[in-house]
Structure 1
């Protein structure tokens, strides 16, 4: 499941397997059930998440993690294509001057399995800055307990 994913589409079932890892870990660590909260149907779950009215993204578990999923709103907010997103190091979502604070929160997530209520400044591909608000970040593990990366979910942001 860690291989490079292609843009979500009906052909690849919108990366259902990947999204199930994200959703299962979110429910396990944070107690949030996005399926129930948003009334998603199981047969269209992955498509509904890709087109959802929130932001969901994840990165792999490499030493310098690379983003491996972002729903449509993430692509729009960061002003990137799927190909650009899935080549982007997670740290590159922030300006270099903000990377220390981002790194600190990611270390906290690694130690505690999740963090809620996080706010942080991010930057799009074109240099537009924005603050993501009330973010939940959590660790990802496969069913057999192997580290799979980290994910983030948030509903709002504000332009800076």
Structure 2
């Protein structure tokens, strides 16, 4: 992750959610490699595609960076769970962020799991929505 994207991710979280995503001394490298929580981001397209997934998220979803980045984010949820996921995306788009979400997801292997204690926020640069990001504290098998 480049420092510009890290600053966008952390800055939007602080501005919209009102709390820091990470401690001020945290680096982009730490967030990617060592964070004990998952972080994902997707673009603002009509069918959003992942643009970022830290290692904790990659482990939960069982995709590596090359598989994750560019994948439509809707594929992270099973078809019967996509309406719930879309509700969250719409709420974040409208309100800037949402917290406390819990949703069932599907890993590359087909394993179902819950992402819990999710915070999702808009990524806004120069007044333009460029995507959305999410952090989750836990992933547990469903």
TM-score by length of 1: 0.84
Give structure 1 regions of 4+ aligned residues with deviation exceeding 2 angstroms: none
Gaps of at least 5 residues in structure 2 are none
The CA distance in 1 between the partners of 2:89 and 2:46, in whole Å, is: 12
Contact (CA 8 Å) 2:102, 2:117: kept in 1 or not? yes
Which residue of structure 2 aligns with residue 130 of structure 1? 113
RMSD of aligned alpha carbons? 1.1
Aligned residues: 141
- The question of 1:23 aligning with 2:10 is answered yes
- The question of 1:157 aligning with 2:139 is answered yes
Where is the helix percentage greater, Structure 1 or Structure 2?
1
Displacement, 1:34? 2.7
**Equivalent runs, 1:79-94 vs 2, <5 Å:** 79-94=62-77
Gaps of at least 5 residues in structure 1 are 1-13
| Aligned partner of residue 34 in structure 1, secondary structure | coil
**Equivalent runs, 1:51-70 vs 2, <5 Å:** 51=33, 52-70=35-53
Where is the strand percentage greater, Structure 1 or Structure 2?
2
| Aligned partner of residue 35 in structure 1, secondary structure | coil
Which structure would you say has the larger Rg?
A: 1
2:25 to 41, 44, 49: 41
Which residue of structure 1 aligns with residue 129 of structure 2? 147
Displacement, 1:133? 0.7
TM-score by length of 2: 0.95
Displacement, 1:75? 1.0
The CA distance in 1 between the partners of 2:45 and 2:20, in whole Å, is: 27
Displacement, 1:104? 1.0
